[in-house]
Amino acid sequence: MDKVILITGSNKGIGFEIARQCGKSGLHVIISGRDESRLKGALIQLKKEDIDADSLVMDVSSPESIRKAAEIYSRKNQKIDVLINNAGIVVKGDRSLLQNDEDLLEKTIKTNSYGPLNVIRYFLRFIQSPGRIIMISSTGGQLSREVGGWSPAYCVSKTFLNAISLHLANELRSKNISVNAVSPGWVRTSMGGTFAPRSIEKGAETPVWLAIEAPQKLTGKFFADKTEIPW
Ligand code: NDP
């Protein structure tokens, strides 16, 4: 059977383009997201392009939704070779950690940090050895460069995600499952906006490289443009 890739938050944006590019390379693609009708539309589009694809409704901010999705997935009797934790949000009004609504940071972290961790928790039993896990992070999460200036709750959530990535790389090393984080750059999507300099195709390039081509032994690293960057 073809290799299988599950991508969270892939009914649009960078996740959808990762699905398209991986599908074109011959992987069996499972797209996912909350919005069922958008998910249906995305699946139709992939199939029109002769991509072998399936879909799974899953809200990564809800452990119960992830658990249900894993239960549904288990009925397929199908392994996963690559998991891409791509789903992410920026909550409107994220301007200052002190002045944001009290629940804004929690809401952001629930989706962007606990979400990927819980998806791994529930889907690990399907992941092959060797296998690959890729976390879509952001340079906003880097602590090695100047911190601050935009969407602070979002940036904190991606720093948290980076820390989770490093710890899981260590925990999953003995299972031969790599865990790496990637910054896609500033990309023209609903999240990135129309002024972003990067195309969606370019934003998907490094995640796709990590999913298919990068050496399996690479783990516990942070990448941008197929190059390792500091955390
Ligand atoms: P979009 O807003 O275009 O797409 C986000 C995707 O995530 C959608 O498919 C959405 O589907 C899904 N999603 C959101 N919340 C949830 C949830 N709770 N559960 C499941 N799926 C969810 O964003 P991008 O494509 O731009 O972003 C993709 C990733 O790249 C994110 O992790 C983002 O942080 C990261 N990134 C993006 C940058 C950019 O410039 N665009 C820059 C740096 C990083 P639905 O609403 O149906 O659930």
Q: How confident is the model at residue 10 (pLDDT cuts 50, 70, 90)?
A: very high
Measured from the CB, is residue 138 less than 6 Å from ligand 1? Answer: yes
154 in active site: yes
Residue minimizing CA distance to atom 8 of ligand 1: 9
The one-letter code for the residue type at 118 is: N
Q: Is 151 in the pocket of ligand 1 (CB under 6 A)?
A: no
Q: Whose alpha carbon is nearest atom 42 of ligand 1?
A: 186
pLDDT at 48: 98
Whether the Cβ atoms of residue 93 and residue 101 lie closer than 8 Å to each other: yes
In which band, very low, low, confident or very high, does the pLDDT at 21 lie, cut at 50, 70 and 90?
A: very high
| Atom of ligand 1 lying closest to residue 34 CA | 48
Average pLDDT of the chain is 98
As to burial, measured by CB atoms within 10 angstroms (0-12 exposed, 13-18 middle, 19+ buried), residue 31 is buried
| pLDDT tens digit sequence for 131-167 | 999 999 999 999 999 999 999 999 999 999 999 999 9
Beta carbons of 31 and 43 less than 8 angstroms apart? yes
Domains of the chain: 4-228 (3.40.50.720)
- Residues 22-49 have a mean pLDDT of 98
CA 228–ligand 1 middle distance (angstroms): 23
Task: Kindly state the tokens that stand for 30.
Answer: 């499972």
| Degrees to nearest 5, angle at CA 164 with 32 and 122 | 45
Helices (H), 49-196: 63-74, 104-109, 115-123, 152-172
Residue 203, exposed/middle/buried by CB under 10 A (0-12, 13-18, 19+)? buried
Threshold 0.95, pTM exceeds:
yes
If you measure from the C-alpha of residue 12 to the centroid of ligand 1, how many angstroms do you get, rounded to a whole number? 8
